[in-house]
Structure 1
Amino acid sequence: NILGGADLIRRKEQHAAFALTTGLLATSEGKKMGKTEKGALWLDPAKTSPYEFYQYWRNVDDNGVQNCFKMLTFMPIDEINALTAPTANINEAKKVLAYTLTAQVHGEEEAKKAQQAAEALFGGGGDIEHMPTLKLSDAEIESTGLRVTDLLVLGKLCTSKSDARRTIEGGGVLMNDAKVTDVYAAADPAALESGIILKKGKKGFLRVTKG
């Protein structure tokens, strides 16, 4: 594909074309990086939101942080070495990596929003306004009855209602920090005013409001 593409460019544009290759980004287990619970990690914000993009890099394997810095950022080597030294705080390095890559791809403003959303969820600060949000119309509120299973599917935290039910039965869903144990549970409509926070596992988050 690479050689074919370069050849096509040469013939179409009538000038030399070159192709570059780099080593694959891999996890410590040797698997290709770039997969999330929802599928591939996209640069397109319509397919992978800036927050999800940020969180992917925030949760990268400890052993892969230095390699990600070297292959994906323009940060000086001495700064990378300082951030990833054995005596350094690896979680702080991950935050820098996540912010840097999100800013490179989506811009500083979106990187700050993603960072603030993560801090709101995990650090007790930040701003929940910037976390992934599902805005429901009046028709959607009525049709779903604000059932948690429906919200999980609409918000793409689960692939289907059966997936949502299994996740609830497995104890993997929180609504406003309270574990959901009933597969038929529904949210209080009054809670839409400030936003309903749904959590799936350790990495899936969604704010549900009235749109």
Structure 2
Amino acid sequence: MDILQDLQFRGLINQQTDEQGLKELLEKESVRLYCGFDPTADSLHIGHMLPILILRRFQQAGHHPIALVGGGTGLIGDPSGKKAERTLNEKETVAFFSQRIKDQLSRFLDFDRAGNPAMIANNYDWIGSLDVITFLRDIGKNFGINYMLAKDSVQSRIETGISFTEFSYMILQSYDFLNLYQTYDCKLQVGGSDQWGNITAGLELIRKTEEDAKAFGLTVPLVTKADGTKFGKTEGGAIWLDPEKTSPYEFYQFWINTDDRDVVKYLKYFTFLSHEEITELEKQTAEAPEKRAAQKALAAEMTKLVHGEESLSQAIKISEALFSGSISELTAEEIKQGFKDVPSYEHIGEEIGLIDLLVNSKISPSKRQAREDISSGAIYINGERVQELDKVITAADRIEGQFTVIRRGKKKYYLIKY
């Protein structure tokens, strides 16, 4: 099965400019293709995963991916998919973000692969030195105002307002495609569905500038959730690829909690499991959804891909410990991940009676309630039930000297920090 057939099976083709022409090109030669990533934050998030993995799929199929970091366009701001003007970042901030994103992209693409290594480029290298006369005479003259106004990314902003700065973004992205076409013979641009207008504008610039040009565009679909909520968002915010912003455990939990209605689609979109493996997991989901086999496979594949085998093992260990209540088996680092968002209390000092600790940390509202909670067996220390009213919390109750985990009832966890 060729790359386009695989993408079709996975539902990963939203739009393409010339299906037959691209098919013939990919069969004939090893094609250079690119996708751009603007540095709007110090980390990519899972909303970027589909385009990244498209590049990876093409590389595995023998083609040459170029990951383009928008060090130049990131100073301008893409109006696509935005209802209001972006806040412009300082040049130093964008340069810092660009380097962080370069480092992240290098985890997904193989820059040493024999025959078809990937490469990273930064469009600041050509946009940063572009003077205004050249921009207006040699590039801008190829774009009619009516043509630009007809693009969704501009049209959707006409009523709310769009600055000339963001209006010009389409021209700069088109220049990226032209530059990569001329410099590296890059013939295909891929991107999210919101990039269709920018991609086709780039193809139009290449057509007007280069004789007998053959270049193509392809977009991936917008990722949606069956329940109508936004993909990639939780109560805690975006799901980042940086483990300091979203821990591997949180990342794993995001995927394990996928709705049954979405899980097969996400297996096709995000994993490199074979068609046969996905079909089997789809069957298991239909026959025994309570076993959550597809969710476990999705969470494992994604966590391993983004964070590695060791982090996957750690995420599974934390999940199992929380499910079984075996908290004492976790390390301090695993406690930090697993209990990142639970209420916490910092205890300064040495030993303290359990009743006083429950009241001081607001786990129990009063000493009377604390005694009742302990007597009824509702209090657990590091996973172990405690019913002694005179229990004193000592150094022996601290995990690696840093934490004590208290559970009240079935699910209410609290973290005592030292």
Gaps of 5+ in 1: 150-173, 179-186
The match for 1:6 is 173
Counterpart CA distance in 1 for 2:236 and 2:407 is 15
Contact 1:57–1:98 under 8 Å retained in 2: yes
Offset of residue 205 of structure 1: 6.8
Counterpart CA distance in 2 for 1:25 and 1:10 is 25
Counterpart CA distance in 2 for 1:12 and 1:205 is 55
Counterpart CA distance in 1 for 2:412 and 2:236 is 10
Q: Of 330, 340, 348, which aligns to 1:142? A: 348
The match for 1:192 is 398
The match for 2:277 is 79
**Structure 1 position 128 matched with structure 2 position 330:** yes
Q: Name the % identity.
A: 33
* Letter paired with 1:23: P
Q: What pairs with 1:106-121 in structure 2 (closer than 5 Å)? A: 106-121=307-322
The match for 1:41 is 239
**Structure 1 position 27 matched with structure 2 position 225:** yes
Where 2:191 maps in the other structure, the secondary structure is: coil
The match for 1:59 is 257
* Letter paired with 2:233: K
Contact 1:51–1:114 under 8 Å retained in 2: yes
For residues 28-60 of structure 1, what are the alpha-carbon distances to aligned partners after superposition, in whole Å with 9 as ceiling and x for unaligned? 123321112211111111100000000111111
Gaps of 5+ in 2: 1-77, 81-168, 193-219, 341-345, 363-378, 385-391
Give the length in aligned residue pairs.
174
The match for 2:159 is none
Superposition TM-score, scaled by structure 1 size: 0.64
* Letter paired with 1:196: T
Contact 1:51–1:132 under 8 Å retained in 2: no
Query: Aligned-residue CA RMSD in angstroms?
Result: 3.9
Counterpart CA distance in 1 for 2:412 and 2:179 is 46
Offset of residue 141 of structure 1: 3.8
Contact 1:132–1:205 under 8 Å retained in 2: no
Where 2:405 maps in the other structure, the secondary structure is: strand
Superposition TM-score, scaled by structure 2 size: 0.35
Contact 1:82–1:88 under 8 Å retained in 2: no
The match for 2:300 is 99
Q: What pairs with 1:134-173 in structure 2 (closer than 5 Å)? A: 141-142=347-348, 148=361
